[in-house]
Structures are given as structure tokens and as C-alpha cells.
Amino acid sequence: MSSRRFPHALVLACALLLTGVLSATAGASPLFPTDTLDGPWDRSAAAPRATSGAGEPFTVVAHGLRNPRGLTIGRDGTVYVAESGRGGGSCQDTDFGEVCTGLTGSVTAIDEAGQRRVLLGLPSYGERGGFAAEGPHDVAVRGRRVAVTVGLGETPRFRRELGPQMGLLGHVVTLRADETLHARDLARHTARVNADGRGRDSNPHGIVWTKRGKFVTDAGGNSLARMTAHKKTKTVAVVPRRKVDIPEEFGGGTIRMDPVPTAVVKGPGKSLYVGTFTGFPFPQGGARVYHVVPGERPKVVYRGLTAVIDMAVGPDGSLYLVEFVTAGLLAANPEDPSTLGGRVVRIAPDGTRSTIGEGNLVVPAGVAVADNGDVYVSNLGVLPDGQVVRFDAGS
């Protein structure tokens, strides 16, 4: 879809690169699981208990996930993961090539009993095979309510081109305690206000649920919106573009790069932290984290990061950030699996940085931290057979 706003086309390319690596290394690396959960799922379906292979620094707590993305943890310790789905069997030609659609997006809950999908039938689209499908991106919980952002990656009119079953693309969908669904159209709001002045693309991505409502990043609109219980949606911040160099192999020169805000977490007081993925040319070390006070200009607080796609706050106040591809998207090389690796960067309250999972994660897309310090990561985040893994505290 629109790679200017969110690198959907390059993420797809990265996924295809991964399939080449998978074919070349099948059975040779613990990074790539070979087990797949097939067949329909329902709320009573549970997966086998967590496993950990020899030499792996993490424990696999859920697998067979369809493009697992953002994570969160409920008060009872249940881990929730948004699955972008795998598209579907209804394929059509569009201006962006063939697109296959289906209601395969979902939210999976993981607890001591195993894994089960608690929200089903959300829209998903992508290429045949389900690699890097667009659909649910992130999830937040409050009590017994579950909210999920559903991506779009284009203008709202694209939904009509895909058909009526794709109508919830670009929405924030909430599963209430009484199991009814409520949907808010962020894409329509973004297109109407065009806060960044760059067009009407929308891609709802990160979400955090606070007492003051849901705060949602729009990776297409380069903005942060607030949704309140009174059916009001308001853009509260726009993340600015900045000038960067274009690599010589891509023509050289400079470009005003879109920030592509993907992740949001609660900060001190009424503030928030927003992490960015960055748009083309996706420079290594070019991603930033902003401190945002609604109504004020975002301020940079952390630099030197790459392709930040999700964030979480630990029990000690540390900030955990997922780098989707640490080497940068343009460096992805199917002949060198190390260029497809991601990691979690931990920034302690005093600013000290450390990493988790470096050399063991491949295109991770989500992170959550438990009260005991265990770190959960959605691994293989653009594959239709992804997983959630756990790094134990102190490991």
C-alpha cells in the first residue's frame, strides 16, 4: 500500500525475503519454527503448553499465530496479541496489484491454560500466502474490555474497493464486557482533518488505554489521536517530518522523511511517549521516541534507534522498544539472515541502554513486560506462522 506513509510494500518485500530464507534454512535454525496449528479456531481452542528448544534464550508461549503484532498484558497476567491475519481467499486486482481479503484478523489471549482466540472475524488483506498481511496491529485491555487497532494503509475509499467485509479497516474496535462490538473510524477522522497536510492516508497502529480515553497512533497520518467515551475523536499531536539523506544507490539527494508513528505508551502525568518507524529511506539509527503532551509540539527524548514498531513500560519505569529490523529495511538480504534480525532495546530510567533477543529474533513486532519483569515478544511478526516468546527476568 502507500509506502510513503507506512512501509507496507517494503514490509511485504521483507516477508518474501524471509520466505526465501525459510526455504534455504528449513530445519537448520532454531529461529524458524516448523510446527503449524491448522484448522479453525474458537474460544475453547487451546495450544500445547510453552516449549523451549535447546540453545534458545526464550520460551515459546504461543505459536501458529497469523502475523502477530502488538502485545499487552491484563491485570490478571493474561497476555494478549493482535494478529493481522493472513488475508483470505477472495482475491482481486487493484492499483497496488493483487490483494486477497478475508476475515482472518483476530486477538489471541495467552495464559496458563494455553492460547485461544478471544476476538475473531476482523478484516485482513495482503498477498497470496498471507505474508505481511494488513489487519489488527495492536491491542489494549481495560478490565474485561479489549480494544484493537485495525490497519488500513491507504485512504478510506480503498475499503470500498476491497468490498463491504473490509469495512472495519482503519477502525478501532472494542469488545465490551457484554461481548458486543463497538467501532470508531479513525481513518475517516484522519482523512477529514488531514492534520499533517500530507494527504489522507490512514493506518491506525499503536494504542494505549488510559483514564482519559484511548490514544492511538496513525502511522499513515503521522499523528496521535485521542478517543473518548463520548464518541469524540481528536488529533492531539502531529509528529514532524525531517530532512534526511537518500542513499546514492537510490538516487542520492535529500528528502523530508515521514516519521511514521507506530507505538505509544503512557508517560509521566498526562504525557505519552510515541515511537516512530520512519519512512523512506528507513535510515538505520534514524528512528526516534518523542515525549508528547497533548496540544504541544512533540519533543525528541531518544535517538539512535531503528524501525521502532512497538513499545512497553516495565515495572521499574524502563522503556522497552522493538526494533523491527535492526539493520534497516533497505539492508535486508535473503543471503544474510542476520540482516533480518530485530531486537528489544531497554532504556532504563537513568538512560542506560541494553538489548534483549539480539541474534535470536526475526522481524519482531510487539512487546509487553509483566509485573515480574518477564518480557514477551511477538516474533516472526510478518509471517502467517508467527509466535510469542518470553524472555525470563534476569536471563
How do residues 206-218 score in pLDDT, each as one tens digit?
999 999 999 999 9
Could you give the CA distance from residue 378 to residue 371 in angstroms, rounded to a whole number? 18
For the ranges 110-119, 331-340, 384-393, the lowest mean pLDDT is seen at 331-340
Report the pLDDT averaged over residues 150-171: 94
Which residue in 320, 323, 292, 294 sits closest to 306, CA to CA? 323
Closest CA to 377 of 346, 339, 344: 344
Q: Give kind and range of the element (H or E) at residue 236.
A: strand 233-238
The dihedrals phi and psi of 159, each to the nearest 5 degrees, come to: -60, -40
Cis geometry, peptide bond prior to residue 40 (ω within 30 degrees of 0): no
Q: Per residue in 50-66, pLDDT tens?
A: 444 445 689 999 999 99
Q: Judge: domain 8-391, CATH 3.10.129.10.
A: no
How far is 346 from 353, CA to CA, in rounded Å? Answer: 6
- Would you say residue 390 has pLDDT above 90? yes
Predicted local confidence at residue 26, as pLDDT: 30
For residue 240, give the amino acid letter.
Answer: P
Q: Would you state the cell numbers that stand for residue 124, as one nine-digit string?
A: 485482513
Cα–Cα dist 212/142, whole Å: 12
Asked if the model's pLDDT at residue 265 lies above 60, the reply is yes
Contact between residue 58 and residue 46 where contact means Cβ atoms under 8 Å apart: no
pLDDT in tens, 286-335: 999 999 999 899 999 999 999 999 999 999 999 999 999 999 999 877 67
Q: Around Cβ 4, how many Cβ atoms within 10 Å?
A: 16
Band of the pLDDT at 178, cuts 50, 70, 90? confident
The widest CA-to-CA distance across the chain, in whole angstroms, is: 56
Whether 45 has a pLDDT exceeding 50, the answer reads: no
For residue 349, the number of C-alpha atoms closer than 13 Å in the C-beta half-sphere is: 6
Count other C-beta atoms under 10 Å from residue 223's C-beta: 25
Residue 377 carries which side chain, given as an amino acid letter? V
Backbone phi, then psi, for 18, in 5-degree steps? -60, -40
Give the three cell numbers for residue 321. 522498544
The H or E element containing residue 19 is helix 8-25
Alpha-carbon 315 to chain mean position: 22
The pLDDT of 338-365, averaged and rounded, is 94
Sequence spans of domains, the chain: 8-391
Give dist(CA 386, CA 12) in Å, integer: 15
Q: What is the pLDDT of residues 212-244, one digit of tens each?
A: 999 999 999 999 999 998 779 999 999 999 999
pTM of the predicted protein model: 0.88
DSSP at 241: P
The answer to whether 35 touches 53, Cβ cutoff 8 Å, is no
